[in-house]
A and B are shown apart, each in its own frame.
Chain A
Amino acid sequence: MANIASQRIKREFKEVIRSEEVARCSIKVELLDDNYSQLKGEIAGPPDTPYEGGKFLLEIKVPETYPFNPPKVKFLTKVWHPNISSVTGAICLDILKDQWAAAMTLRTVLLSLQALMASPEPDDPQDAVVARQYKGFPEIFISTAEHWTNIYAGGSRKKEEYSKKIERLMGIGCNMDQALVALSGCNWDLDKAIEQIFG
């Protein structure tokens, strides 16, 4: 079993390296150990989305039963998205669960994740807070996701108002991550965020 797994990963690794997406810097895979069970992935935030301009790192763990079972993938870069946990980076995507097919590859996984970033599925959420904001306050969602992309993934868009609010909270003893999570979850209502952190 393990034999097929490493053989497949070796091949796929080459496939990704050679693919046109790499040429366009849109996806990337890196090996972390010699037995092909741990990889690091990277995808570019898709254009015309709040994630544009960001680089998102992924942890990819290949099970022994690969490719008959899906790889375990999660985001290492923090991201504000209804189907990705803003805390743990866990991903809710059907092809990483029951819709996985043995004929799929790392390349299809990375491209599917990119597609997921471009079109979230708020009715099947991983992060309920984000999903609620996505449905109820789409404009706040977009600017929040842009702000997160700016802070964690190197995107260029951000809101001065948000930065100031984060600084206010940091001024009273919060760390940056804590302030950002609280404010994002409270639709940037400073009082509510303070209450959530200190209440």
Chain B
Amino acid sequence: MMAECTINDNIDESDSDYSDEDFETYYHPMEYGDSEENHNPVDAEDPELFPVECLTMEQVEMFLNEAVNSVCHILNINMSLAKLFLLFNNWDVEKIISGYKLDITSFLISSRVLPTLQSQQQSANIDDNDCQCEQQQPGSGNIINDNVFICPVCTCSSLKSLGLCLECQHTFCTECWTTYVEVKISEGQSTEITCMAQNCNLLLQEVIALKLPISSYLKLQYQHFAFHNYVISHPLLRFCVGPNCNVIFKAKQSLAKRIVCPQCKSVFCFKCGDSYHAPTDCATIKNWLTKCADDSETANYFSAHTKDCPNCNICIEKNGGCNHMQCYKCRHDFCWMCLGDWKGHGSEYYECSRYKENSETANESAKARAALRKYLHYYERWQNHAKSLKLEEKTLEKIKDRINQKVMNGSGTWIDWQYLLDAAALLAKCRYTLQYTYPYAYYMNNESKNLFEYQQAQLEAEIENLSWKVERAETTDRGDLENQMYIAEKRRKTLLKDFFQT
């Protein structure tokens, strides 16, 4: 087993491994260790290694503009249109270029620049006009004479030269467009603003929107919202999830790896932006959390208050104190504690040691119960480790107090006791991963499940050993503790290496 072969490796590495990524980065962080990029030969194989750059808004703008400029340049189109293409195609420049060259019309239709039933000829002109044109066809029937039309929104007549329409030729007066765009921006919209006509989903491009006489404040707002949309749609960029934190991360690949914000210390998954969840993947953890939110209360109630009748498997709620139960359906007498036949309970009232797993799962309610039992198995462990993490946070506080006392009393310096903090940090890190192995196992359904559960059990055992030793740190030999830290971390890394697919 891979988990076994690493224990006897060089123990000295453990120090450099753990020291810069401390407990703090998980809970109430104070300083950022650029840990994943600290180079250690072992780290090269670290399954959690994920180099990211922290960018400011200006840097992100430059980065985005590179893509915009290259699209503009290659396809010879304006920036506004290039941005729209990028927004719709996950910023994949190659895909845009090949799609555009393959079939311009359908590309423009799918990007919501051209209406679906538009002639080829009009699409060819898209480069040299800004999608702004005067109403040319009498299609909408709003034309009074050659110079005047009625705007269908304000129902006022207006000079045709003051009208504005997209490629769909739905013309409205500039005043209505302006008010419309102002209303939409104040509702938080920007790049998603569409034509005002019914069933027309053509997008109002940035260049047109910003040419309208809207207030400079709303123009800024528009640019702000648009920038937000660009970053969110870009697979290699991610806003920090921390409240009021402006950091934007840039990675080389879009993977479900851990990000630790150097500014606000938030920890999250790069791909989905939720709490980091290795070894489980983004979709699975989402399912799990939804399931927990839906089920846990009902499930808890079921497990606490109901049992299946051992004879007919109907679900029974205990509504009195007596443990001698009689099923209202099949009249079977049984013991609530052990679910055994009541007949055997004569004189030795509570010797209920004869519990056996009920293998009869024939009917529906028993199947549901079996599914629930499976879920509860994983849920309880998931919850339990979450609780342990909280409790161990308190242990950390105690350790800090004790270190302070020791330093004040002159027994060693702060540096001498630093290893205790490292141990607590490592414990938190390992337990966090352990917690997230349970949703993984719950949804796992293949041959490697045995191996996974074996490694999970190994990890769990070592973590409990470590936790035991951390709680008794003063009476534990430092070498022993560090050895334990090393083993636990190795187990964690091995499990991630084998099962964490980003």
**A residues neighboring B (CB under 8 Å):** 1, 4, 7-8, 11, 65, 67-69, 101-104, 108
Interface membership of B200, Cβ < 8 A: yes
Query: In the complex, A4 Cα to B198 Cα: how many Å?
Result: 18
Q: Is the CB of A68 within 8 A of B199?
A: no
Q: A4-B176, A11-B155, A102-B176 are known contacts. Are A69 and B183 too (CB-CB below 8 A)?
A: yes
Q: Which secondary structure characterizes the binding site on chain B?
A: loop
Chain A residue numbers with a CB within 8 Å of B180 are 68, 102
Contact A67 B198 (CB under 8 A): no
The answer to the question of B241 belonging to the interface, with a C-beta cut-off of 8 Å to chain A, is no
What are 25 residue pairs bridging A and B, where the CB atoms are less than 8 Å apart in the complex? A1-B179, A1-B183, A4-B153, A4-B176, A4-B179, A7-B154, A8-B153, A11-B155, A65-B183, A68-B179, A68-B183, A68-B184, A101-B194, A101-B195, A101-B196, A101-B197, A101-B198, A101-B199, A102-B172, A102-B176, A102-B196, A103-B152, A103-B153, A103-B170, A103-B198
Tell me the complex Cα distance, A11–B156, Å: 10
Q: How many residues of B contact A (CB 8 A)?
A: 19
Interface string of B172-184 (1 = CB under 8 A from A): 1000100110011
In the complex, chain A residues whose CB is within 8 Å of the CB of B176: 4, 102
CA distance A195 to B453 in the complex (A): 48
Q: Mark B191-207, 1 if CB is under 8 A from A, else 0.
A: 00011111110000000
Residues of chain B contacted by A104 (CB below 8 angstroms): 198
Question: Can you name the residue of chain B whose Cβ is closest to the Cβ of A11?
Answer: B155
Contacts of B155 in A (CB 8 A): 7-8, 11
Per the bound structure, the CA–CA distance linking A4 and B172 in Å amounts to 13
Are A108 and B198 within 8 A (Cβ)?
Answer: yes
Binding site for A on B (CB under 8 A): 152-156, 170, 172, 176, 179-180, 183-184, 194-200
Which of B154, B170, B196, B199 interacts with A4 by CB under 8 Å? Answer: B154
Name the residue on A nearest B175 (C-beta).
Answer: A4
* A68 to B156 CA separation, bound complex (whole angstroms): 16
Residue of A nearest to B183 (CB): A68
What residue in chain A is nearest B156 (Cβ atoms)? A7
CB neighbours of A65 from chain B (8 A): 183
Q: What is the bound-complex CA distance between A165 and B141, given in angstroms?
A: 56
The closest CB in chain A to the CB of B186 belongs to A65
- The smallest beta-carbon distance between A31 and chain B, in angstroms, is 17
Partner of B153, one of A1, A102, A108: A102
A9 to B176, CA, bound (A): 15
B162 to chain A, nearest CB (A): 16
Residue of B nearest to A10 (CB): B155
Q: State how many angstroms separate the Cβ of A132 from the closest Cβ of chain B.
A: 19
Q: Tell me how far the C-beta of A62 lies from the nearest C-beta in chain B, rounded to whole angstroms.
A: 14
CB-CB under 8 A from B152, the residues of chain A are 103
Say whether B179 contacts A103, CB under 8 Å: no
Q: Given A7-B154, A8-B154, A8-B155, A103 and B183 touching (CB < 8 A)?
A: no
- List of 9 A-B pairs having minimum Cβ-Cβ separation, nearest first: A102-B196, A68-B183, A11-B155, A101-B198, A103-B197, A103-B152, A68-B180, A102-B153, A65-B183
Closest B residue, CB atoms, query A99: B199
Give complex CA distance A69, B199 in Å. Answer: 15
Task: Give Cα A69–Cα B179 distance, bound, in whole angstroms.
Answer: 11
Collect the chain B residues with CB atoms within 8 Å of residue A4's CB: 153-154, 176, 179
CB distance from B212 to the nearest CB of A (A): 14
Chain B residues lying within 8 Å of A11, measured Cβ to Cβ, are 155
Q: Chain B residue with minimal CB distance to A104?
A: B198
| Interfacial chain B residues near A102, Cβ < 8 Å | 153, 172, 176, 180, 196
